């Protein structure tokens, strides 16, 4: 699979998303800057429509379809945030959507999909292939498969995140040394990197992911795609993708300096600090970028002003409670 996704595609995506996507403003906290010793700006995509950046790529993909394609309907597979992005976009565009979701998907994400009127097909992560299920549905019903990251329209749509970051930073006369995003399939980082490098070449791109799901870390450092092996359980359900995407990896290989791994405990502490100091709820997978800053990964790097993308805020109450308790210990 070889498709060239460019910054021009990101600009076209922005034109499709205008009037639909929520432009999330850069925010910061003096207390967090003191804690980290850095000048941290947050891009709170956890406050985006459906509580995650995934709406950007999903709406761009669906809105780019012809009327004939839209009439066929779509099928997508996701643990939750892409599912919600597709279901909300389909609802807004008057399309039919089926979502293949794992049986252990967070309840809040399942409820979001149902609320937007999409049909859910549940599967077992251990014994079933979500890709095979989606392909069968597509073959039987004629529906168009909407991947969560390995799609040029998805990547371009996510790239509007980076476009907004640099444009706002320039308006505020902020020189951003580094941008760090969570990495699951790599679509957010790839799209964001396209925009960041086009508009601010000196700004460095970084990624973050769960410690035992470090496929991007292994792959970026090796220079080729590597799958992680025998991972331990993680609370970062949104970014448990086993291997970097075929389309996303070449882009990230070109633009990303390094990828940092973080523990579940790092994520819980980071969630608690963000909630206390910024007043917003972030899910574990959405806060890995900040966790990577908090645990000192940037201390040895020449990066003082850092933009951290908080990619999602859909977290089940019990995980949110565990995070809140971290600051009470």
Distance from C-alpha of 309 to C-alpha of 164, rounded to nearest angstrom: 11
From the number of C-beta atoms within 10 Å of its C-beta (0-12, 13-18, 19+), residue 284 rates as buried
Residue 80 — pLDDT band, cuts 50, 70, 90? confident
Can you give the pLDDT at residue 156? 98
Q: Which of 69-73, 82-86, 89-93, 103-107 has the lowest mean pLDDT?
A: 103-107
Can you give the pLDDT at residue 2? 57
What's the pTM?
0.95
Cα distances from 110 to residues 113, 197, 229, 235, in angstroms, run 5, 36, 28, 16
> 53 or 108: which carries more pLDDT confidence?
53
Can you give the pLDDT at residue 284? 97
- Residue 293's nearest CA partner among 320, 264, 275, 270 is 270
Q: Which of 20-34, 102-116, 203-217 has the lowest mean pLDDT?
A: 102-116
pLDDT over 70 (residue 11):
yes
pLDDT over 90 (residue 103):
yes
- Contact present, 98 and 73 (Cβ < 8 Å): yes
Can you give the pLDDT at residue 174? 97
Can you give the pLDDT at residue 126? 86
Can you give the pLDDT at residue 184? 96
Distance from C-alpha of 309 to C-alpha of 277, rounded to nearest angstrom: 16
Within 13 Å of residue 133, how many CA atoms lie on the same side as its CB?
A: 19
pLDDT over 90 (residue 125):
no
- Contact present, 291 and 311 (Cβ < 8 Å): no
What mean pLDDT, rounded, does the chain reach?
96
Positions of E strands within the chain: 39-44, 74-77, 97-102, 119-123, 144-145, 178-182, 204-210, 256-262, 305-310
pLDDT tens digits for range 134-188: 999 999 999 999 999 999 999 999 999 999 999 999 999 999 999 999 999 999 9
Q: Which domains does the chain have, with CATH numbers?
A: 7-53+151-326 (3.40.50.1100), 55-145 (3.40.50.1100)
């Amino acid at each position: 699979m070889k498709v060239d996704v460019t910054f021009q595609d990101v600009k076209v995506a922005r034109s499709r998303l205008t009037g639909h996507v929520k432009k999330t403003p850069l925010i910061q906290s003096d207390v967090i800057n003191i804690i980290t010793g850095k000048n941290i700006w947050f891009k709170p995509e956890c406050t985006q429509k459906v509580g995650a950046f995934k709406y950007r790529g999903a709406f761009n993909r669906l809105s780019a379809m012809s009327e004939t394609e839209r009439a066929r309907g779509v099928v997508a597979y996701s643990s939750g945030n892409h599912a919600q992005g597709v279901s909300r976009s389909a609802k807004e565009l008057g399309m039919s959507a089926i979502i293949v979701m794992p049986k252990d998907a967070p309840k809040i994400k399942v409820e979001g999909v149902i609320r937007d009127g999409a049909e859910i097909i549940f599967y077992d992560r251990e014994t079933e292939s979500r890709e095979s299920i989606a392909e069968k549905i597509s073959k039987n019903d004629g529906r168009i498969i909407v991947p969560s990251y390995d799609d040029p329209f998805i990547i371009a749509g996510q790239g509007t995140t980076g476009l907004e970051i640099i444009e706002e930073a320039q308006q505020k006369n902020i020189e951003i040394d580094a941008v760090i995003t969570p990495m699951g399939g790599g679509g957010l980082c790839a799209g964001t990197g396209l925009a960041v490098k086009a508009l601010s070449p000196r700004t460095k791109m970084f990624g973050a992911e769960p410690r035992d799901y470090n496929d991007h870390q292994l792959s970026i450092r090796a220079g080729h795609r590597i799958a992680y092996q025998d991972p331990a359980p993680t609370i970062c359900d949104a970014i448990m993708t086993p291997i970097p995407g075929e389309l996303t990896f070449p882009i990230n290989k070109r633009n990303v300096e390094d990828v940092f791994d973080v523990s579940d405990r790092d994520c819980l502490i980071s969630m608690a600090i963000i909630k206390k100091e910024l007043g917003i709820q972030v899910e574990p997978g959405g806060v890995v970028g900040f966790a990577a800053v908090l645990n000192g990964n940037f201390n040895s790097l020449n990066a003082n002003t850092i933009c951290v993308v908080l990619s999602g805020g859909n977290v089940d109450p019990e995980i949110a409670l565990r995070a809140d308790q971290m600051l009470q210990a």
